[in-house]
Amino acid sequence: MAQITFKFEQGEDIVIFANEGENLLEVAKKANVAIDAPCSGNVSCGKCKVKLVGGEIDSPITRHISEEEYAQGYRLACNSKVTGDVAVLIPDISAAYRSRMKIADLNSPEEIKIFNDIKEQVNEAGLPFTNSFSVVQATMDEPTMDDTMPDNERLRWKLTEVLGCDNIKITYFALTKLPEVMRNANFDVKVVVKKEEEKYYVMDVFPATEDVKAYGLAVDIGTTTVSMVLVDMANGEILAKGSSGNGQIRYGADVINRIIQQNQPGGIETLKKAVIEETINPIVANMAKSAKIKPTQIYSMLVASNTTMNHLFMGIPADYLRMEPFIPTFFETEAPTGKDLGVNINPHAEIGIAPNIGSYVGGDITAGTLSSMIWNFPELSLFIDLGTNGEIVFGNADFLVSCACSAGPAFEGGDISCGMRATDGAIESITIDKETMEPTYSVIGDEGQKPVGLCGSGIIDIIYELFTCGIITPKGKFCREGKRIKHDEYGIGSYVIAFKEDAESVKDIELTEVDIDNFIRAKGAIFSAINVMLEMMDMDVSLLEKVFVAGGIGSGINMQKAVCIGMLPDIPLEMYKYIGNSSLSGAYCMIMSDEANAKVSELSKSMTYIELSNHPGYMDEFQAACFLPHTNASLFPSLEMK
Amino acid sequence: MAQITFKFEQGEDIVIFANEGENLLEVAKKANVAIDAPCSGNVSCGKCKVKLVGGEIDSPITRHISEEEYAQGYRLACNSKVTGDVAVLIPDISAAYRSRMKIADLNSPEEIKIFNDIKEQVNEAGLPFTNSFSVVQATMDEPTMDDTMPDNERLRWKLTEVLGCDNIKITYFALTKLPEVMRNANFDVKVVVKKEEEKYYVMDVFPATEDVKAYGLAVDIGTTTVSMVLVDMANGEILAKGSSGNGQIRYGADVINRIIQQNQPGGIETLKKAVIEETINPIVANMAKSAKIKPTQIYSMLVASNTTMNHLFMGIPADYLRMEPFIPTFFETEAPTGKDLGVNINPHAEIGIAPNIGSYVGGDITAGTLSSMIWNFPELSLFIDLGTNGEIVFGNADFLVSCACSAGPAFEGGDISCGMRATDGAIESITIDKETMEPTYSVIGDEGQKPVGLCGSGIIDIIYELFTCGIITPKGKFCREGKRIKHDEYGIGSYVIAFKEDAESVKDIELTEVDIDNFIRAKGAIFSAINVMLEMMDMDVSLLEKVFVAGGIGSGINMQKAVCIGMLPDIPLEMYKYIGNSSLSGAYCMIMSDEANAKVSELSKSMTYIELSNHPGYMDEFQAACFLPHTNASLFPSLEMK
């Protein structure tokens, strides 16, 4: 047995024993050490770099590791075999991509604007923010030797009077609190009740002297990132906002690899635990702390996520989603409770799941469609969610059709060597001087934040700049030389945006031809999907009047540049609107408004799914779109004009 | 810090570190070592004897330890202070009293007779064994590319047809099993459904080829012992029967001491864990194994227990049960689920609690009243439950009144130095030769089983024999001398039933004057309670036509002897019937029959509770009954005749 020591920039070492010959990435998984491995250990993405700091390991040099890096001790974990005792450092770039948990500063109006906006729009569309939760006071007589009614009957008796309903159930959680709270409060209490089918459920009980509110939690479980808001169920006020990387990331960057991992022995529990115990529960705990409440005061939760994510979250085998005939276990389902799933909120809180419409279009899109508002417009509109996959919904108040395309995770920084999410340290916009080829960029974060990597909007910018400055060809190959242009031993070119001296990184922040190729295929998938979808409806982009772009690409997205590289159709820029995380804002509406919830259910039932691969010309369309901007440049008159 | 080693006759040592000066009984509790301490460590019962086998401990000699025993190393754990490293042996007498888990041999007709009998009686009384559970088959079409309905809708669609009801809910547990089971079974499945208010809940799913049954669990949680039966919900067949000591015993033998312990920091969880994780779950696991089912196939559970036990079981503060005005948190309550309480059965199984009628008359008595059948007779009848406390119900088909008395645990062997439950090794009956004073006894267990201690029926026998042989006075003091009569250094007399050479015990099995005194007070409490209760109703024992005796006293109870020592009223012996564990047989009826369940609810609401202490003459009656047979011997003409 060999002793493997994982070291971190911050925090304590993790030590585990492994057999000789074992794969280092597998050992790390066993030790619960999160190493990014978007390709699931196929030696293809080069993300799982670790640094040898003691002992030796059997690991060849590959194109992902330069000779200089190799000399410094960098190795790909997935390409390393244990040969004896060894110590490795998990570099910070990995932690940055994994993204540390973030509890938002709600004093920043930007953080909550999206929720205030959507509340207004949804209410105006006739879906009021009313739900089944309320807080009522019950002032009871104290028991005496002549009045020995038990605590639960005493409360029920009073609530029957207060609520005008005699069908009152007391949850087990509330029952366990009753005797102490009633006596501490001199039998004057406030209770949180939920109304359901002419019944009231007592969810919790507090002394009447306390300021009691019912709280809800809207959650977007993305393949890459989990985001959530804690809300006051009475008025929709945002009390906390948090996010972190999805802890399942170490089991693969995309849904297919996750499903494969779930199929391993114990995989169902492992994947469920990664998203619930290691991701959601810690965020909830921190948000509750920041809002000064107990997690048990969260009485309702609403999850919007893609079909694979909600199956994995629920601990349901997802293997049949990826195998013909691609059948999910559910579109809509009875809500499990906090206790059922092990989510640390009130044990009786129901966890609603935004409805899926198929294996490839899930609750993230149905919830997102609600908050795009396209169902409320007479105009033909497009809603594009640039998540780890790309999904597109087209229609108006009369009809809705949807499709999905395998865009991959490039828009969120996945499949890009220096890619990262749109968080602190991400380069979100960039310009390049055509003459000197020197870049000017802005970085997300406080004044003086050094760059760590590139987020989606930064990648769009740099590809636009490299292309329009004539530094790369329409095929994405470098065609100029200079200080910032490098070629590795395999001949692969790259552009250095920030040398490592100027960055918070162990190596230069650069964009390689492999990255550009990955991105071009991603943008080609989106562009061709839009066109094929419209074609299948006998329409074209000239009929579009509004386009809503959502997803983790970052609010810094420059629509003009996105159009000019052939990612989005060349229609007037004012038709485009970036709406942020529509999945989360949709979940927010669904938890606050019973009518919005019903509307999503209605939309999901009426939305038609179009399978793009059934279109005979789809592959040709996709190939044609894998150029800058497109093999048919006439589709992009705006660029021509430039 | 000192190292404390607990050694056992069987099994591995348990080692824990403790500070000097710490109480050994407290250290044992921390280490989760079960030592019987019925008096909760007040140095009054003498039950917590341990044997020093290494090191030293600061522990004085007391009347519970003879000089010989002290020399052999016996110490009272509750009276011992840690002074340094020490090793103690937990003697077997303790383990015997604690009672090992027992899974009954169902081939023995005695074990199931009580359930067959009560089923017949209850059915004849118009309460059929019908309930909300059933098993139905659903044969579905397999999904195709043209029929992509998700699994849950496919099942629901078919069940709507099979059940003729379109309100079908699928539990979270069943949902997680759906995709695998449906495909393994080629979409031909059997489901366990529960009907509730025009809704069906799918509790579980199996391939149609399996023999699928819905199982239920009836449980009696006694203060001393937990007993249960696993039943086929379709017909009431008993599939397994198990019991073990209540793991809470180490926190005190009676309900008051348990409540005091629950009030300690962490006490709610500790007491709940002791009865659920350490007692119920292991029995369930063993019963399921013996019946060859999974615990998740238990879809319903019904608990009958006294008010304190059901509060402790539910994790509800019970402190207000013992403090004026003695208010329980509930009489009847919404059923928590297996998941709510951590009982290892189906997570969605509802755990019904037989209704309490007050702090001192609980669900064990309401369920027991059902199975006594006194509510179904025109004749005036008495139902007496000799549990750790004594409860009495009097009435007939027209009315029911109940009372409780502090009889203490003597009938189950508690408060008696060599007392034990009616299990292997217990002396259950005895006669003494008037001349030689030599005993002849029978022991529960296999041929050749040596005596370990005395159970309730044995104690009744020996007191009767000692009294009628003129060995003890009506006050319970020894008045003859002989080989078997001993007096300790404090002058306390005792009668040796079995010398240690003939017993499976480290010391002689004897009955002391302290034991006799404890028992006389217990029987006096029962007798005076019966009389005062009848007096308060302006009645007397001559009106009684049937008396049902229940409880852990043992089926060996000799009613004639019980009458002659003044424990039960002197009425014709044929009126008496021992009905065993009525709490368990009542729970069995409640789980099998929705109408029996409703009947218990109805009985509990109509039953009047009489507080004996409100009767001015109660204390006098009690004092008068604390003699053999009674200060007024004319109440016992049968004995006079002898």
Phi, psi of B603 (to 5 degrees): -60, -45
What is the rounded CA–CA span in Å between residue A549 and residue A573? 12
pLDDT at A574: 96
What is the rounded CA–CA span in Å between residue B84 and residue A181? 44
B294 is a domain residue = yes
Residues B339 and B221 in one domain: yes
Residue at which a domain ends, from B207, B225, B260: B207
What is the rounded CA–CA span in Å between residue B615 and residue A74? 88
Chain B's closest residue to A341, CA to CA, is: B172
pLDDT at B639: 79
If you average pLDDT over every residue of chain B, what do you get? 92
What is the rounded CA–CA span in Å between residue B352 and residue B586? 13
CA atoms within 13 A on the CB side of B321: 29
Find out whether B529 and B537 touch, Cβ atoms under 8 Å: no
Residue at which a domain ends, from A353, A385, A420: A353
Find out whether B195 and B134 touch, Cβ atoms under 8 Å: yes
- Amino acid residing at B238: I
Query: How many angstroms away from the CA of B326 is the closest CA of chain A?
Result: 8
A310 CB neighbours in chain B (<8 A) are none
**Cβ-based neighbour number of residue B107 at 10 Å:** 7
Identity of the residue in B147, B149, B329 whose CB atom sits nearest the CB atom of A150:
B329
Examine the pLDDT at A641 and tell me if it is beyond 70.
no
Domain carrying residue B27: 2-99
Chain B's closest residue to A311, CA to CA, is: B176
CB pairs under 8 A between A and B: 117
Residues B167 and B222 in one domain: no
| Domain harbouring B56, CATH code | 3.10.20.30
User: Do the Cβ atoms of B325 and A179 come within 8 Å?
Assistant: no
Long-range contacts of B628-631 (CB under 8 A, 24+ apart): B628/B463, B628/B467, B628/B472, B628/B473, B628/B474, B628/B475, B628/B476, B628/B520, B628/B565, B628/B566, B629/B474, B629/B564, B629/B565, B629/B566, B630/B527, B630/B566
Q: Any chain A CB within 8 A of the CB of B134?
A: no
Find out whether A205 and A227 touch, Cβ atoms under 8 Å: no
| Domain harbouring A201, CATH code | 3.10.20.880
- What pLDDT digit, counting tens, does each position of A70-88 carry? 999 999 998 999 999 999 9
Query: How many angstroms away from the CA of B491 is the closest CA of chain A?
Result: 45
ipTM: 0.88
Q: Any chain A CB within 8 A of the CB of B180?
A: yes
User: Do the Cβ atoms of B327 and A144 come within 8 Å?
Assistant: no
Phi, psi of A362 (to 5 degrees): -115, -165
Pairwise pLDDT comparison (A36 vs A459), residue with the higher score = A459
DSSP assignment of A412-451: GTTTSTTB--SSTTEEEEEEE-TTT--EEEEESSSTTPPP
What is the rounded CA–CA span in Å between residue B584 and residue A380? 69
The confidence band for A415, taking pLDDT boundaries of 50, 70 and 90, is confident
- Amino acid residing at A10: Q
pLDDT at B97: 44
- What pLDDT digit, counting tens, does each position of A173-185 carry? 999 999 999 999 9
Find out whether A566 and A104 touch, Cβ atoms under 8 Å: no
- Residue A248 — left, alpha, or beta (φ > 0 → left; ψ -120 to 50 → alpha)? alpha
- The residues, any chain, with a CB within 8 Å of residue B509's CB and separated by 6 or more, are B418, B427, B451, B452, B453, B454, B496, B497, B498, B500, B503
CA atoms within 13 A on the CB side of B508: 16
What is the rounded CA–CA span in Å between residue B192 and residue A414? 45
Residue that is written with structure tokens 């460590």 in the block: B41
User: Do the Cβ atoms of A176 and B314 come within 8 Å?
Assistant: yes
- Amino acid residing at B296: T
Q: 295-324 in A: which are within 8 Å (CB) of B?
A: 314-317, 319-320, 324
- The residues, any chain, with a CB within 8 Å of residue B120's CB and separated by 6 or more, are none
**Pairing relationship of beta strands B168-170 and B102-103 according to DSSP bridges:** unpaired
Residue that is written with structure tokens 């386009």 in the block: A547
Residues A76 and A118 in one domain: no
Please classify residue A506 by burial: count the beta carbons closer than 10 Å to its beta carbon, then call 0-12 exposed, 13-18 middle and 19+ buried: middle
User: Do the Cβ atoms of A179 and B358 come within 8 Å?
Assistant: no
A432 is a domain residue = no
Residues A309 and A347 in one domain: yes
Residues B184 and B240 in one domain: no
**Residue B351 structure tokens:** 């755990």
pLDDT at A44: 67
**Cβ-based neighbour number of residue B215 at 10 Å:** 28
**Cβ-based neighbour number of residue B361 at 10 Å:** 25
What is the rounded CA–CA span in Å between residue B43 and residue B39? 7
| Domain harbouring B327, CATH code | 3.30.420.480
Residues A81 and A11 in one domain: yes
Most distant CA pair in chain B: distance in Å? 96
Examine the pLDDT at A24 and tell me if it is beyond 50.
yes
**Residue A43 structure tokens:** 């030696």
- CA angle (B577, B579, B581) in 5-degree steps: 155
User: Do the Cβ atoms of B336 and A169 come within 8 Å?
Assistant: no
pLDDT at A93: 43
Residues B220 and B317 in one domain: yes
pLDDT at B433: 96
Per-residue b or e along B306-336, where b marks 16 or more CB atoms closer than 10 Å to that residue's CB: bbbbbbbbbbbbbebbeeeebbbbbbbbbbb
If you average pLDDT over every residue of chain A, what do you get? 92
Find out whether A390 and A412 touch, Cβ atoms under 8 Å: no
Helices A363-372 and A307-314: crossing angle, nearest 10°? 130
pLDDT at B164: 97
Write out B51-118 in H/E/C secondary structure: EEEEEEEECCCCCCCCHHHHHHCEEEHHHCEEEEEEEEEECHHHHHHHCCCEECCCCCHHHHHHHHHH
pLDDT at A560: 94
A175 CB neighbours in chain B (<8 A) are 314, 316, 329-330, 333-334
Residue A232 in 3-state DSSP?
A: strand
A556 is a domain residue = no
- CA angle (A13, A17, A19) in 5-degree steps: 140
Chain A's closest residue to B179, CA to CA, is: A329
Residues A275 and A331 in one domain: yes
**Cβ-based neighbour number of residue A245 at 10 Å:** 24
The confidence band for A96, taking pLDDT boundaries of 50, 70 and 90, is very low
Q: What percent of chain B has pLDDT over 70?
A: 96
CA proximity to B299, closest of B355, B340, B338: B338
pLDDT at B44: 67
Residues A22 and A82 in one domain: yes
What is the rounded CA–CA span in Å between residue A364 and residue A227? 12
A410 is a domain residue = no
The tally of domains found in chain B comes to 3
What is the rounded CA–CA span in Å between residue B610 and residue B392? 10
B324 CB neighbours in chain A (<8 A) are 145
The confidence band for A38, taking pLDDT boundaries of 50, 70 and 90, is low
C-alpha to C-alpha distances, A223 to A101, A258, A388, A423, nearest whole angstrom: 16, 9, 6, 16
What is the rounded CA–CA span in Å between residue B122 and residue B138? 34
Residues A186 and A233 in one domain: no
pLDDT at A159: 98
Phi, psi of A567 (to 5 degrees): -90, -40
User: Do the Cβ atoms of B333 and A180 come within 8 Å?
Assistant: no
Phi, psi of A264 (to 5 degrees): -70, 160
User: Do the Cβ atoms of B340 and A340 come within 8 Å?
Assistant: no
* pTM for this entry: 0.88
Residue A523 in 3-state DSSP?
A: helix
Residues B9 and B142 in one domain: no
Identity of the residue in B151, B341, B356 whose CB atom sits nearest the CB atom of A329:
B151
B203 is a domain residue = yes
**Residue B626 structure tokens:** 């604390």
pLDDT at B297: 98
A392 is a domain residue = no
- Amino acid residing at B553: I
Write out A22-82 in H/E/C secondary structure: CEHHHHHHHCCCCCCCCCCCCCCCCCCEEEEEEEEEECCCCCCCCHHHHHHCEEEHHHCEE
Q: Any chain B CB within 8 A of the CB of A183?
A: yes
Question: Which parts of chain B sit beneath pLDDT 50?
Answer: 93-98
Q: Any chain A CB within 8 A of the CB of B73?
A: no
**Cβ-based neighbour number of residue A295 at 10 Å:** 20
C-alpha to C-alpha distances, A494 to A162, A346, A357, A482, A526, nearest whole angstrom: 71, 51, 41, 11, 25
Per-residue b or e along A124-137, where b marks 16 or more CB atoms closer than 10 Å to that residue's CB: ebebebebbbbbbe
Q: What share of chain A is helix, strand, coil (3-state, %, to 5)?
A: 35, 25, 40
Residue that is written with structure tokens 């579109």 in the block: A331
**Cβ-based neighbour number of residue B627 at 10 Å:** 18
What is the rounded CA–CA span in Å between residue B46 and residue B37? 8
The confidence band for A92, taking pLDDT boundaries of 50, 70 and 90, is low
A413 is a domain residue = no
Chain B's closest residue to A180, CA to CA, is: B317
B642 is a domain residue = no
What is the rounded CA–CA span in Å between residue A45 and residue A410? 12
User: Do the Cβ atoms of B176 and A144 come within 8 Å?
Assistant: no
Q: What share of chain B is helix, strand, coil (3-state, %, to 5)?
A: 35, 25, 40
pLDDT at B93: 43
Residues A252 and A304 in one domain: yes
Residue at which a domain ends, from B160, B189, B207: B207
- Helix or strand (DSSP H, E) at A494: strand A493-498
Find out whether B240 and B106 touch, Cβ atoms under 8 Å: yes
